[in-house]
Copies of this chain bind each other. A is one copy, B any other.
Amino acid sequence: MKLLEEKIKADGKIYEGDILKVDSFVNHRIDVGLMNELGKEFYRRFASDGVNKILTIEASGIGIACLAAQYFGAPVVFAKKSRTSNLAPDVYTAKVVSYTHGNTNNILVSKDYLTASDRVLIIDDFLATGEALFGLADLVAQAGATLVGAGILIEKAYQAGGKRAREQGIRVESLARIASMNPTDGITFIEE
């Protein structure tokens, strides 16, 4: 999607170590107008799939998930990263390694909020190794719900996650697919 690709080119920052920072519009400051347009695009792609629940993971997925969810008329459920004293004991859990943060989280969703009748669209900001996506898909499977697909803002297409997910039959729609990037040569996208 050109709108997002142009924004990444203009405001994304590339660092050594395969780091793309989009803090200025995605995951620290949120460009709500832009996210709304991206939300509409997810709706355009999944409008006929009977989505009745948007699933994401805290924290940076929540904003885009809520803005997109408006168009689906669906609620958002966000997986939590650690058990809190406020949460019911009856949960689905999966393990997710974060390469960005260098740790492993237990993600969890209350069994009350993900059920066998759900048709779930996963929405998240990044897809690289796919750890978060596979963790969320695991929660959907545990609930016996139907995974309609995954709407991703930015896919590092040169990493294994997207390919692996598609091979497993997960429909992945990424609004910007990065073919390559580095601080010297900048960033190139896979043409849609």
Contact = CB atoms under 8 A, between A and B. Distances in A.
Interface string A57-79: 01100110111011001111110
11 contacts: A23-B110, A23-B113, A24-B112, A29-B77, A29-B110, A29-B113, A32-B69, A36-B70, A58-B58, A63-B63, A63-B66
A66 B123 CA distance: 15
B59 A78 contact: yes
Interface stretch (A1-9, A84-92, A151-159, A172-180): A84-92
Interface of A: 19, 21, 23-25, 27-33, 35-36, 58-59, 62-63, 65-67, 69-70, 73-78, 80, 84-88, 100-102, 109-110, 112-113
Nearest to A21: B86
Contacts of A75: 25, 29-32
Nearest to A15: B86
B66 A32 contact: yes
A101 B84 contact: yes
Contact of A28 (B63, B74, B113): B113
A74 B36 CA distance: 12
